[in-house]
Chains A and B, each alone.
Chain A
Amino acid sequence: MESFKSKSISAALATATCTLLGTSVAAPVLAQEEPAWVFNTALLYYGEADGRIQDGSVKGLVQRRFVDDRVLSIGFAVDALTGATPNGAIPFDGVQTFTAPSGESTYKTAPGDMPKDDSFQDVRASLTVNWSQPLGRLFTINAGLSGSSEFDYTHYGANLGFTRDLNKRNTTLSLGIAASRDAISPVGGVPIPFSSMLDRSKQREDGPRPPNRTGDQTKDVYDVVFGVTQVVNRNLLVQLDYSLSASSGYLNDPYKILSLVDAVTGDPLPRTPVPGKKGPVHQYRYENRPDSHVKQSFYGQAKLFMGGKVLDASYRFMTDDWGIHSHTVDTHFRVPFTNGNYLEPHFRYYTQTAADFYQISLVDGTQAFTFASADYRLGDFDAFTVGLKYGWKSRFGKEMSLRLEYYKQNGNAPAEQVIGNQAGRVLYPDLDAIIAQFSYQFEL
């Protein structure tokens, strides 16, 4: 059959059908395949510069769709982490020695370097299960369980949600609640807040706890999310969300410390280890955060179809009762090629203010703090991410993509907290990280 005729067959058939049925041209068909199985997997590498954290992980999501819009999703992830992380102590011109979290060894920081704990190694596994189905004609309900486990941390959670369609499904309201219980059992035990970092000592399995440690702790988190999704026109979809999150219990980072410094020079106060033992040669205190944390977020997202290209832009404002507020702007722009492959640049900008109790160091005697933490993640910083993703379809219709991104954090120590000699040093551990991800998706 000649190909020049082929192209007009569909059109000729459409016209002939109109004549046969005595109708005018019918509206175009809208049919969408809903595969029974969707598999979504990814391999991830996350690596920070300066010998800091590296994470390799495998993640997957399996979705099974049953008749009547009932969907079962099972997600899993396995992460292997290693590398050093800033421990909260302030840099200093001399050598600093720290006792590792286990209490059984020490590590040193060279003069001038940002003190980092490199004894950190962990494997984390997580599992989530979710079920979603229509409830009557107007609502859908979804419920799920989640759990994760790593060497020193366990998490269990449950979530429940509802959605309701209005205005011919142009408006969707959604409400979700979640609750979780986390158990924290740090290596070496939970340090008593503001207690001193002690010398190294060999721990017997069933021996008495070191004087500066208490038993395992728990943390409870409750979340509520309320959202509105609105179809604006054929090409534009908008979502607005409000969420409230309340955490209570043990919210400290058990591995983070603060340096105790001289009120004038700002240098860490020296300390002598007990004779015969190895330990810190300066004074450090374990951090303390409030035992409750309430966060609110306002989130808006828009997806705009521009003749084949898709712009995804979102903004989030977060404010909490620790004095932190943040702005996040996240944009993706997908550019498809004629063969179905696509390129998607990504840009994200993030900025946050420091927590009320963020302290770069503690001054002995003159200040009395109820809460203090030098954790850089509670500090004042800007961050941006730039990335590029390339997606393609294999010969057999499997979708794959490769994403490469660069994440940078730039922080500042609050000027009023800088004392004496600290002024000349890098006080905030800026972050440089690479994100590389390979994704593989297929349907059955």
Chain B
Amino acid sequence: MHSVKAGTIKMTHTRVSSFLVALLGAALVGCSSMGVEPWQRDVLAKEEMQLITDPVEASIDDHIYFSKEASSGGRGFGGGGCGCN
């Protein structure tokens, strides 16, 4: 993995962060016209279409990657709470 000078990284972080916050904001504003009628939710109701299909498996993965990497969570809480090695 190539190394980048510290100063450049910080600037990239700020730019990326602002872009992503703007995306989130745009998502909120642009959302009001998208979607389906209540009777069109048949596919969305399927078990395999839930955002977390298997909560136990999701927590297993979160825990493994939290123990072995420096990042955690993202869609929920840190999943922390262990003296993992």
Contact = CB atoms under 8 A, between A and B. Distances in A.
Interface string B1-31: 1011010010001001100110110011001
B51 A228 contact: no
A178 B81 CA distance: 12
Interface in A289-342: 295-299, 301, 303, 305, 310, 312, 314, 316-320, 322-326, 328, 334, 336, 342
A30 B3 contact: no
Interface string B26-47: 0110011011111111111110
Interface in A162-202: 166-171, 173, 176, 178, 180, 182, 184, 186
Contacts, number: 225
Contact of B65 (A153, A342, A350): A350
B13 A30 contact: no
Contact of B83 (A152, A229, A314): A152
A401 B23 CA distance: 37
Interface stretch (A89-97, A105-113, A235-243): A235-243
A234 B54 CA distance: 22
Given A176-B76, A439-B57, A148 B82 contact: yes
A27 B85 contact: no
A231 B50 CA distance: 12
Interface string B52-63: 011111011000
A231 B81 contact: no
A46 B84 CA distance: 13
A357 to B, nearest CB: 12
A342 B22 CA distance: 38
Interface stretch (A16-24, A36-44, A258-266, A360-368): A36-44
Listed residue (A153, A319, A380) with the most chain B CB atoms within 10 angstroms of its CB: A319
Interface string B65-85: 100111111111110111101
Listed residue (A170, A186, A223, A356) with the most chain B CB atoms within 10 angstroms of its CB: A170
Contacts of A221: 78, 80
B81 A437 contact: no
Contact of B70 (A234, A326, A437): A326
Contact of A233 (B36, B49, B53, B73): B36
Nearest to A57: B60
A380 B74 CA distance: 20
Listed residue (B9, B35, B55) with the most chain A CB atoms within 10 angstroms of its CB: B35
Interface string A56-90: 00011100000000000001010001000100000
Interface stretch (A5-13, A133-141, A271-279, A408-416): A408-416
A241 B74 contact: yes
Contact of B68 (A61, A320, A323, A377): A377
A153 B24 CA distance: 37
Nearest to B70: A324
A373 B61 CA distance: 25
Interface in A96-144: 120, 124, 126
A240 B83 contact: no
Given A303-B49, A439-B54, A245 B35 contact: no
Contact of A237 (B31, B37, B51, B72): B51
B78 to A, nearest CB: 5
B57 A227 contact: no
B74 A318 contact: yes
Contacts of A431: 68
A106 to B, nearest CB: 19
A234 B16 CA distance: 31
Contacts of B32: 166-167, 171
B59 to A, nearest CB: 7
A82 B61 CA distance: 19
Q: 4 closest A-B pairs (Cβ-Cβ)?
A: A170-B35, A155-B81, A153-B83, A299-B74
Given A182-B80, A439-B54, 16 more contacts: A42-B56, A60-B56, A126-B82, A148-B81, A148-B82, A159-B77, A231-B35, A240-B24, A243-B74, A305-B49, A310-B48, A316-B71, A317-B20, A342-B48, A407-B64, A437-B57
